[in-house]
């Protein structure tokens, strides 16, 4: 896919692999390639689930500070739209997405992990939003996605302090969903992704959209989003297959249509 981001597909699972040694610092080129990779796997009908992975040693240590230090306000005002856009492309993938977090997931790395539906972390992983220590704030979604995930007070603690959060604490506050031995992170993420590959792809996309859009609106509007998604699924083959299998006491074989 690119010099620093590639897509590997096996068994209906796409791995978006970050590969910019040593720390996967997310420079402009890598951000562009990440957005392109996200849009590609979203559009690929053969892909049923996605894993975002930075390798055995590190997920991503953040946006490239060496690139940003020379930027003016005008530069960043223009650049920040693309920065947020590539992360939004990951969040918008209409399939289950799991971040496999090894080593550091800091700043932009943490913000990338927040774009996934689920996060599997290694026992020695460290997550955080240290931008305040540079006189900045998170700029790729951290001030918005983090409080939606762990609550405003906990998010403020991490953003105001810039401290690194160890895997055990990250699990306890809901920042990650599972903690496994470091060597098992990618395998655990793949195994989790594999539980979705035989599922009803259209219904999974509808469920993701209903939840993600619903948390942004009032309850009545959210219920209407749910109603429309629910009703629309009655036009799919998978709904007919699933309901017929239930009445026949058989195992459904979904087609993704």
The pLDDT score that the predictor gives to residue 187 is 98
Q: Is 1 a residue whose pLDDT tops 80?
A: no
* Catalytically annotated residue among 8, 111, 123, 184: 111
The whole-model pTM stands at 0.94
How do residues 80-127 score in pLDDT, each as one tens digit? 998 999 999 999 999 999 999 999 999 999 999 999 999 999 999 999
DSSP-derived secondary structure letter, 228: H
For the question of residue 111 being annotated catalytic, the response is yes
What whole-number percentage of the chain has pLDDT above 90? 92
What whole-number percentage of the chain has pLDDT above 70? 100
Query: Which runs of consecutive H residues, i.e. helices, occur in 135-253?
Result: 142-150, 152-161, 167-172, 185-194, 201-214, 219-232, 237-247
β-strand 165-166 against 126-128: which pairing, if any?
Answer: antiparallel
What is the arithmetic mean of pLDDT over 193-214? 96
The pLDDT score that the predictor gives to residue 47 is 97
Instruction: Report the largest interatomic distance among the alpha carbons of the chain, rounded to a whole angstrom.
Output: 65
Say how far residue 80 (Cα) sits from the centre of its chain.
19
Q: Of 44, 49, 17, 88, which Cα lies nearest the Cα of 198?
A: 49
How do residues 29-83 score in pLDDT, each as one tens digit? 999 999 999 999 999 999 999 999 999 999 999 888 888 899 999 999 888 998 9
* Catalytically annotated residue among 36, 56, 131, 184: 131
Contact present, 204 and 257 (Cβ < 8 Å): no
Phi then psi dihedrals of residue 210, to 5 deg: -65, -45
Contact present, 129 and 145 (Cβ < 8 Å): no
39, 84, 134, 248 from 144: Cα distances, Å: 22, 11, 19, 45
Q: Of 91, 98, 108, which Cα lies nearest the Cα of 48?
A: 98
Distance of alpha carbon 99 from alpha carbon 115, whole angstroms:
8
């Amino acid at each position: 896919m690119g010099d620093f981001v590639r897509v590997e597909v096996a068994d209906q699972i796409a791995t978006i692999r970050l590969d910019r040694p040593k720390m996967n610092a997310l420079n402009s080129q890598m951000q562009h390639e990440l957005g392109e990779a996200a849009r590609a796997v979203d559009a690929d009908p053969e892909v049923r689930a996605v894993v975002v992975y930075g390798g055995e040693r590190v997920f991503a240590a953040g946006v490239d500070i060496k690139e940003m230090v020379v930027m003016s306000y005008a530069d960043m005002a223009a650049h920040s739209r693309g920065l947020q856009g590539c992360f939004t492309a990951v969040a918008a993938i209409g399939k289950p997405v799991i971040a496999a977090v090894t080593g550091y997931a800091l700043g932009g790395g943490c913000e990338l992990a927040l774009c996934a539906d689920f996060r599997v972390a290694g026992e020695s992983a460290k997550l955080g939003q240290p931008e305040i220590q540079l006189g900045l704030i998170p700029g790729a979604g951290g001030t918005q996605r983090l409080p939606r995930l762990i609550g405003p007070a906990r998010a403020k603690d991490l953003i105001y302090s810039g401290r690194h959060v160890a895997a055990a604490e990250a699990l306890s506050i809901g920042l990650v969903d599972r903690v496994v031995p470091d060597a098992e992170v990618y395998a655990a993420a793949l195994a989790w992704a594999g539980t979705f590959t035989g599922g009803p792809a259209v219904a999974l996309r509808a469920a993701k959209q209903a939840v993600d859009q619903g948390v942004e609106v009032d309850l009545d509007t959210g219920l209407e989003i749910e109603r429309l998604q629910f009703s629309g699924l009655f036009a799919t083959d998978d709904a007919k297959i699933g309901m017929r299998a239930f009445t026949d006491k058989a195992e459904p074989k979904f087609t993704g249509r």
